[in-house]
Amino acid sequence: MHSFHYVGRQLHCEGCSLESLAAQFGTPLYVYSQSTLEDHFAKLDRAMAPLDHLICFAMKSNSNLAVLRTLAGLGSGFDTVSSGEIRRAIAAGADASKCVFAGVGKTRDEIAYALEAGIYCLNVESEAELKRISAVAVERGQIAPVAVRVNPNVDAKTHAKITTGTYENKFGIAFEEIEKIYARAAKLPNLRLRGLQMHIGSQLTSVEPFRKAVEKVVPLVDRLNRKHGFDFFSIGGGIGIVYKPALESGAAGWWETAEGRKVLTPQRFAETLVPLLKPLGLKILLEPGRYISGNAGVLVTRVEYLKKTGKKHFVIVDAAMNDLIRPAFYDSYHEIVPLTKKAGALVSSDVVGPICESGDYFAKDRPLPKVGEGDYLALLSAGAYGSVMGGNYNTRSLAAEVLVKGDNASIVRKRQAVEDIWRDESVATWQKS
């Protein structure tokens, strides 16, 4: 489910009207639903209950402290990709012993910090990295828990920029190399070979690639476990979501499209994978990002201008690609709806931001209700890979963020003051007068 729905003509997040939030906090504004975050986490957690398991929320999808605090409160661990993310998770109240640290480029300082923080495992992407972690662990007189990321060479059949599980990309170590790597790693000092990790891609809307990868990798995990005494196998993240959810009451949940077509539900995911994983007798880690945060957030924006050219009807809004880069970056679809429901015919519209780039658009030739200057729109499914990818291009402030719980709304990131954008800059020493 997700908690964005119309009450009368007004789009609400839980018990709060989004128009009143836009009026109170300004736009562009990210709004997150705490109940939706909790619901998504609980659904997956319940589905995986037959296994000893740990959900490590992939915080690169949304790392707002309030979002992390919500999930930490439910017992979630965190999948982190930098020492900054580990620090952020701890600042939000996360238990470091439930955090894993992934990524192909960990620096010595980051490795040292992760060991000092006492994280559950470092997920390793190359043999050079294993050697470096071993060396840092020796220097610190600590044992480093590690898992190697296997690339199962299974095509996730998703967008080229978010597929990771084939030999065409930089992630993991080839399936055929893994046993040799573990044999060599076992000879390196101060490493504990704690498990094996994989992640085949993002926004997977069918369970089949997961099934294929798990079927292929489970026998490998079993052999390695017998040799090295593992604690866990991580099957990564990547559960896809519906970007075109139905908003009418009584209609679909977050996993059902506006056309009523079902994609990957946690039940289906678990039904397929639990029987394959159970015989391992290991703790199973999951690293969902988008599944938990994606449909728990929207980006609210205000219509600034309408502009007609010979061919096009442009709706120019106050949000831009610096706030939400996914359409420009991945050609992503975000459903766009008015905060106040409109009657009347739909108009084929291009929704664009004010940035000086042709890539700064949210939709092209989209049938939308007729809107006017000052109307508000919501870009749905913006909770994952939205504000975290925000930037200051065109010296635009980072958007404000609000968390809603029932009738309560709280600012959880204040709108960046424009002077703060250049606060760490200065003129060169010889330019000072």
Q: Exposed, middle or buried, 152 (CB in 10 Å: 0-12/13-18/19+)?
A: buried
Of 31 and 102, CB closest to ligand PLP: 102
> Does 79 help bind ligand PLP (rule: CB under 6 A)?
yes
Q: Helices (H) and strands (E) in the chain — how many of each?
A: 12, 21
Report the residue number, 4 or 269, with the smaller CB distance to ligand PLP.
269
For 305, phi then psi, to 5°, come to -145, 155
Per CB under 6 A, which of residues 312..371 are in contact with ligand PLP? none
- Of 57-65, 295-303, 395-403, 413-421: span binding ligand PLP (CB under 6 A): 57-65
Question: Which residue number, 124 or 303, has a Cβ lying nearer to ligand PLP?
Answer: 124
Output 28 or 236, the one with its CB closest to ligand PLP.
Answer: 236
- Determine if 194 is a binding residue for ligand PLP (CB under 6 A): no
Which one among 165, 238, 338, 390 touches ligand PLP, defined by CB under 6 A? 238
Distance of alpha carbon 17 from the chain centroid: 25
Strand, helix or coil for residue 33: strand
16, 56, 121, 356: which is the annotated catalytic residue? 356
Q: Does 76 interact with ligand PLP (rule: CB under 6 A)?
A: no
Q: What is the distance between the alpha carbons of residues 352 and 370, in angstroms, rounded to a whole number? A: 15
Beta pairing, strands 16-17 & 283-286: unpaired
Going by the DSSP 8-state scheme, the letter that residue 163 receives in this structure is B
**Which CB sits closer to ligand PLP, 291 or 361?**
291
Chosen residue from 236, 297, 369, 383 binding ligand PLP by CB under 6 A? 236
Query: Could you say which residues in the range 272-291 bind ligand PLP, by CB under 6 A?
Result: 287-291
Q: Which parts of 204-327 are beta strand (E)?
A: 232-234, 283-286, 297-308, 313-317
- How many residues bind ligand PLP (CB under 6 A)? The answer is 18
Q: Looking at 47, 58, 213, 328, which residue binds ligand PLP (CB under 6 A)?
A: 58
Distance from C-alpha of 1 to C-alpha of 62, rounded to nearest angstrom: 19
Task: Report the distance separating Cα 288 and Cα 96, nearest Å.
Answer: 18
356 among known catalytic residues: yes
Task: Enumerate the active-site residues.
Answer: 356
Which residues are near ligand PLP by CB under 6 A?
A: 58, 60-61, 79, 102, 199, 202-203, 236-239, 287-291, 384
